[in-house]
Every structure is written in structure tokens, then in C-alpha cells.
Amino acid sequence: MSTIVIITNRQRIKKINSPLLKSVVNALLAELEIEKAELGVNLVNEREMTLVNETFLRHEGSTDVITFDYGSPVGRDSRRAAKNKIRLARTLAPPGLNGELFICIDEAIVHAKKFKMTWQSEIIRYIAHGILHLQGFDDLRPDARRKMKREENRLLRGLSKKFSLAQIGGGSKLRA
């Protein structure tokens, strides 16, 4: 089975090395033993994230990551997307992990400073967080949130050993 990862850079705050980011995401999926996946990763600015957050989650303001699980019915979300002119890369995929992530670069920069990390590492954390949601993890209860955070930390440590995550911040602003 194949894995399809589509990286779409829709922000102009930071340059992104999309091919490297795609390789990191593929390694993350492999580490989680996900052999069958279709995943869209959208890198957006605060304005677009606010629109997505308010439209789909009905939460005010921006957030770090939003996950859409296309293995679940999302008809209502599709209508809201069309009404608000939000482009979703929804496709029909075979069974397996099938979803789309919206990652806010502005939030990654702010949180990276707060936690003394690089914004590139924060992006990878957000992607891991979204993929874990697609696998059924939740972060609503404190115990589940701790479990999810431990798994994010484990994944980030492993990827940091395999890749120079700082190099994600460079290259073309076009999608891979």
C-alpha cells in the first residue's frame, strides 16, 4: 500500500523546505507503523487559521493545529468550507489514515519562543499531534492529554535524530 502526503504552503511568514518536510512526515507515519495513508498538511497564517477555526470548530481566534478526519462523515463541514471559500484537499481514499491538517505558522513561532524550541520543531509537534488524533488519541481529559504529549515527545525526539529539523525552514515557498 502506498502513502500519499501532500504539503501545501499557504503562508508567507517563513520559507519552507517542502520536500524535506514531506520526508519528515513520511518518517513520522513509518514510525507509527501507518502503511496506508492519505494526508494533506496545510501550512497557513493566523488569518486563515482563524477562519478555519471559527468556521468548523466555532471557536474564536486562531489555534495551533486543526485536524480533519476524512475517515468520518464530514458533509456539514464541506458545505461550510464551500460557503466560506476555504479550500479543503478532501479526496476519496481507500481505508486507512485519511485526513488533513491545518498548521498555523504564527502559532508555532509564538509557542517556540515560549517553550524555547525552534518553530520548525513546533510544526513537527503539531503534525504529530494531528496524526495522533487521526489514530484515535484525544486530549480532552488530563490523563489522555499526558499520554498524547508523551507520544508527541517520543516522536519528536526520534525525528530530531534522523533529520535536521532546522532545515525545514528554507527552500521554496511552493508546495511539494
Q: Can you list the domains of the chain with their CATH numbers?
A: 3-168 (3.40.390.30)
Tell me the C-alpha distance between 8 and 32, whole Å.
22
pLDDT in the model for residue 1: 54
Tell me the C-alpha distance between 45 and 91, whole Å.
23
> What distance, in Å, lies between the first and last C-alpha atoms of the chain?
21
Phi and psi (nearest 5°) for 65?
-145, 140
How far does CA 121 lie from the centroid of its chain?
12
* Confidence band, pLDDT 50/70/90 cuts, at residue 86: low
Q: Which residue has the higher pLDDT, 168 or 87?
A: 168
pLDDT in the model for residue 176: 36
| Bridge pairing between strands 3-9 and 97-104 | unpaired
pLDDT in the model for residue 30: 96
The mean pLDDT of 64-80, rounded to a whole number, is 71
Residue 4's nearest CA partner among 17, 20, 15, 29 is 29
pLDDT in the model for residue 78: 52
The mean pLDDT of 86-111, rounded to a whole number, is 80
* Confidence band, pLDDT 50/70/90 cuts, at residue 75: very low
Q: Do 121 and 169 form a contact (C-beta atoms < 8 A)?
A: no
* Confidence band, pLDDT 50/70/90 cuts, at residue 122: very high
Q: What is the pLDDT of residues 12-57, one digit of tens each?
A: 999 999 999 999 999 999 999 999 999 999 999 999 999 999 999 9
**Helix or strand or coil: residue 43?**
strand
Phi and psi (nearest 5°) for 110?
-65, -50
Residue 36's nearest CA partner among 3, 12, 66 is 3
> How high is the mean pLDDT of the chain?
89
pLDDT in the model for residue 71: 81
